[in-house]
Amino acid sequence: MIKTFYKTLLICLFLSIHNICSANDGYKLWLQYNYIEDSDIRDNYLSHLNSVQYFGDSETINVIKEEISLAMKSLFGNDYLKNINKNGLIIGATSNLNTKILKKLKNEISNIQKDGFVIKQVKIGGIKQIVITAKTDIGVLYGTFNFLKRLQTHQSIDKINVIDFPKVDIRMLNHWDNLDRTVERGYSGFSIWDWHRLPNYIDTRYKDYARANASIGINGTALTNVNSNALILTPHYIEKVKAIADVFRPYGIKVYLTARFSAPIEIGNLETADPLDENVAKWWKDKTAEIYKEIPDFGGFLVKANSEGQPGPQNYGRNHIDGANMLADAVKPFNGIVMWRAFVYSEHDPDDRAKQAYSEFVPYDGQFRDNVLIQVKNGAIDFQPREPFHPMFGAMAKTNLMMEFQITQEYMGQGTHLVYQPKLYEEVLKADTYREGKGSFVAKVIDGSLHNKKITGIAGVANIGTDINWTGHHFLQANWYGFGRMAWNPYLKSSDIAEEWIKMTFTNEKAFVKPVKKMMVSSRETVVNYMTPYGLHHIMATGHHFGPGPWVDNLSRPEWNPVYYHKADENGVGFNRTNTGSNATAQYASAVKEIYNNIETTPEIYLLWFHHIPWDYKLKNGETLWNGLALKYQQGVNEVEEMKSTWNSLKKYIDPQRFKEISMMFDVQLNDAKWWRDSCLLYFQQFSKKPLPKGVEKSKITLEYFKSLKFPFAPGN
């Protein structure tokens, strides 16, 4: 009997080691809860975890129980709750804890802000209890995930005493998902929102999506594309949205929808969508009430208006204030918000595209309702591998202004290149706007501290799709994770985030964590090197933006052509945005303006963003611009080769499926990096008329071939 028993045991050990029970397909993201093999660490944890007491009764407390049980059984197996002693966990909101416990936490509790939490070890009647508490059950959920992360990453919990809280109010994902399940700029399959089967069939993914987001503090999701379809606001779809909202609610995630400005005409049978027309205003009020009736905690609307052909108030001779405030008034009674995007540029405006959002919006400062947030992309063009921070940050002291990052990699290798984006987010958030003098960091605009804003927010355009591993490339899960962490706290170091993600997702093995962290942290600079070094930008092939296309010059709108952005000619390359050029620099605070107006003080990473420079210009490293560019492209390729060999050297630390899939992705990335290097250098060489410097590989392929490449069904287009 015993023999058969242990025989039975042996199997699963065997299986688990060999990943046969189930090869790791990455579906579990960073919530792997890998069994803790190290018995010292395990036993130490277990000595604190002999019981769990939950206080409070809510859907959120129930999902906390589920998560704790899932995690503990996975981390500790049968050893969990084996009662070596009386030490245990206490989990619940302050309002549900008894005074004996509360006394021990007086100071900490008084310091809890918003949905923040406390995790503290206290002694009650000689028994060590780790208390996870907060003012709200959602705060308790965040504290629970924080605690579980410490176990996953093998951190000490002896005498634990942690206080943390979100520094930004609205931390959300924007899904550019269409109702036909295609995803604009989506590179990991199709939309996870299975509208046809909703509301009666609830895909298991919805709950796992909510768990993953709650684990990093994300508290909002805009389900639909900013290029919106009015049908999402019809009853047929509202009941489907409600079904999703019901799944998300216990996890503290609010649902938002994109509002097509012309909806009153398309589904409301009105003749106009003029925001000052009272029937239009009434239609939106009624529609909003209809939505809140089904979804009492509906978050509000995200709007792309008068941008890239989308309808908006300007179609009726009105402005963004008229449009945004009309919608704001509709959601106000329900404490809803309106996120109005500042991503606007017009083919009729001959001015530098980089200047148009600022020119259109900054004059409106102070005129938007207090439940409106203006959503601004991190840079003034469009999610490039590198852009200077957007001049609007800090420029609207009397307006709620939120950040829009792109997690999906429209311009950064799309679904197949390892680019650890939190490094980019960090660069932007740390940038100094000088709006209130030195130290006026973008992060202070986003957390509202610079001009003490009423509501703060940060949005990331999701990279999530139906691929089993959610993001196509396993490593791109880290960008979802990292975005959430920095939305919670814009002052975090991206390298620290990378380390915790690696440990949770793969292993705590030092020999694996160190090189992989190094690879991730440098990967963003690598993509800049092989795509757009020295401030080059928007030279991707047009439409699908897949691969290089610096030669494209035949599109209807000038600012859609790469040649508009690099302006390469025999005299040099780059976009003069200084006071001698488009004067976009004038949109920055004077301290910043002066830095960028002067080629000597402009950081070389932004050189060609702000200046048109001769090919033989001497870089700080002594190389000519042409040689410097060529060397950067080559360096990018070399760095991908290093990443690839680093990864292939780590095979023994990782399950075969993820190892192989990631390994194939590096092959793709290396091919693409060479494609970028070769085609861009061949193209620019036509103007520089200079040979490649030593150390730069010569292309074996002609520029004509690169120009001839077509990708008729490239995804995300």
Return the number of the residue (16 or 598) whose C-beta is nearest a second copy.
16
- The window from 199-207, 474-482, 514-522, 552-560 that contacts a second copy (CB under 8 A) reads 199-207
C-beta of 678: minimal distance to a second copy in Å?
17
Burial status of residue 645 (CB atoms within 10 A of its CB: 0-12, 13-18, 19 or more): exposed
Q: Which residue stretch of 113-121, 280-288, 295-303, 655-663 sits at the interface with a second copy (rule: CB under 8 A)?
A: 655-663
Q: Residue 221 or 669: which CB sits closer to a second copy?
A: 669
Nearest to 168 by CA among 115, 211, 226, 212: 115
Tokens (6 digits) for 347: 């083919």
319 contacts a second copy (rule: CB under 8 A)? no
Site residues for a second copy, 280-299, by CB under 8 A, read none
Closest approach of a second copy to the CB of residue 338, in Å: 26
Q: 695: which 2 tokens?
A: 């150390």
CA atoms of 392 and 651, how far apart (whole Å): 46
| Structural element, H or E, at residue 100 | helix 99-104
| Residue from 100, 103, 196, 557 binding a second copy (CB under 8 A) | 196
Site for a second copy in 47-106 (CB under 8 A): 70, 73-74, 76-79
Neighbours of 150 (CB within 10 A): 17
Q: Which is nearer to a second copy, 187 or 615 (CB)?
A: 187
Q: How many CA atoms lie within 13 A of 167 on its CB side?
A: 17
Candidates 1-9, 289-297, 490-498, 581-589: pick the segment binding a second copy (CB under 8 A).
Answer: 1-9
Residue 416 or 587 having the CB closest to a second copy: 416
Does residue 204 touch a second copy according to CB under 8 A?
yes
Determine, following the binding rule CB under 8 A, whether residue 181 of this chain makes contact with a second copy: yes
194 catalytic, yes or no? Answer: no
Q: How far is the CB of 225 from a second copy (least distance, A)?
A: 13
CB 502 within 8 A of CB 152: no
- Residue closer to a second copy by CB (options 76, 615) is 76
667 binds a second copy (CB under 8 A): yes
d(CA 490, CA 485): 8
Q: Cβ 340 to a second copy, closest distance in Å? A: 27
Q: Give the interface size with a second copy as a residue count (CB under 8 A).
A: 64
Q: 22 vs 156, which CB is nearer to a second copy?
A: 22
| Smallest distance from a second copy to CB 7, Å | 6
Measuring CA to CA, which residue among 36, 60, 59, 58 is closest to residue 49? Answer: 36
Determine which residue in the list 99, 110, 200, 269 makes contact with a second copy, applying CB under 8 A.
200
Packing angle of the helix pair 494-505, 137-152 (nearest 10 deg): 70
Find the helix or strand (DSSP H, E) in which 324 lies.
helix 320-331
Q: Which is nearer to a second copy, 13 or 289 (CB)?
A: 13
Could you tell me which of 461, 467, 465 has the C-alpha nearest to residue 479? 461
Rounded to an integer, what distance in angstroms lies between the CA atom of residue 502 and that of residue 439? 32
- Return d(Cα 717, Cα 495) in angstroms, integer: 32
| Cα 175 to Cα 189: distance, rounded to the nearest angstrom | 13
Residues contacting 279, CB < 8 A, separation 6+: 264, 270, 272
269 lies in the binding site for a second copy (CB under 8 A): no
Does 661 interact with a second copy (rule: CB under 8 A)? yes
The nearer residue to a second copy, 116 or 716, going by C-beta atoms, is 716
How far is it, in rounded angstroms, from Cα 214 to Cα 64? 11
CB under 8 A: which stretch of 10-18, 256-264, 386-394, 495-503 binds a second copy?
A: 10-18
Rounded Cα–Cα distance for residues 618 and 400 (Å)? 43
Q: Is 714 in the site for a second copy (CB under 8 A)?
A: yes
Q: Which of 410, 447, 499, 678 is catalytic?
A: 410
Q: Which stretch binds a second copy (CB under 8 A): 117-125, 220-228, 434-442, 656-664?
A: 656-664
> Residues 14-53 vs a second copy: string with x where CB under 8 A?
xxx-x-xxxx-x-xx------x-x-x--------------
**Closer CB to a second copy, residue 109 or residue 714?**
714
**Active-site residue among 308, 349, 436, 509?**
308
Question: Which of 8, 110, 556, 621 lies at the binding interface for a second copy (CB under 8 A)?
Answer: 8
Q: Is 648 in the site for a second copy (CB under 8 A)?
A: no
Chosen residue from 189, 388, 448, 628 binding a second copy by CB under 8 A: 189
Q: Are 67 and 143 in contact (CB under 8 A)?
A: no
Three-state SS at 107: helix
Pairing of strands 170-174, 220-222: parallel
The reply on whether position 12 binds a second copy by CB under 8 A is yes
Question: Taking the complex as a whole, how short is the minimal distance between the CB of residue 95 and a second copy, in angstroms?
Answer: 32
Residue with tokens 């906390």: 64
Please report whether residue 549 would count as binding a second copy according to CB under 8 A.
no
What is the DSSP code string of 596-621? HHSTTTS-GGGHHHH--B-TTPBPTT
Which residue is listed with tokens 């390729």? 637
Considering beta carbons, is residue 186 or 572 the nearer one to a second copy? Answer: 186
Based on the shown chain and the rule CB under 8 A, indicate whether residue 671 belongs to the binding site for a second copy.
Answer: yes
> For a second copy, what does the binding mask look like between residues 392 and 431, x meaning CB under 8 A?
-----------------------xx---------------
* Six-digit token string for 647: 């990864």
Active site residue 308: yes
How far is 195 from 216, CA to CA, in rounded Å?
A: 26
Three-class secondary structure of residue 658 per DSSP: helix
Contacts of 493 (CB under 8 A, 6+ apart): 426
Nearest CB to a second copy, comparing residues 189 and 628: 189
Catalytic residue among 177, 360, 382, 447: 382
Beta carbons of 52 and 66 less than 8 angstroms apart: no
Contact flag: residue 711 with a second copy (CB under 8 A): yes
Angle at CA 444, nearest 5°, toward 440 and 445? 95
Q: How far is the CB of 708 from a second copy (least distance, A)?
A: 11
Distance from C-alpha of 393 to C-alpha of 436, rounded to nearest angstrom: 12
Q: Cα-flanking dihedrals φ and ψ of residue 714, to 5°? A: -55, 135
- For this structure, is 382 an active site residue? yes
Measure the CA–CA gap between 231 and 604, rounded to whole angstroms.
48
Binding a second copy (rule: CB under 8 A), the pick from 106, 159, 236, 438 is 236
Q: Are 502 and 517 in contact (CB under 8 A)?
A: yes
**701 binds a second copy, rule: CB under 8 A:** no
| Minimum separation from the CB atom of position 66 to a second copy (A) | 11
Residue whose CB is less far from a second copy, 25 or 290: 25
Pick the piece of the chain touching a second copy (CB under 8 A) from 50-58, 188-196, 306-314, 343-351: 188-196
Q: Which is nearer to a second copy, 193 or 316 (CB)?
A: 193
Q: Which two tokens stand for residue 488?
A: 């919670």
Tell me 699's DSSP state: P
258 Cβ partners below 8 Å, 6+ apart? 222, 224, 225, 226, 228, 232, 301, 302, 303, 304
Site string for a second copy, 439-468 (x = CB under 8 A): ---------------------------xxx
Site residues (vs a second copy, CB under 8 A):
4, 6-16, 18, 20-23, 25, 27-28, 35, 37, 39, 70, 73-74, 76-79, 179-181, 189-190, 195-197, 200-202, 204, 231, 236, 415-416, 466-468, 472, 657, 660-661, 664-665, 667-668, 671, 710-715
Catalytic residues: 308, 382, 410
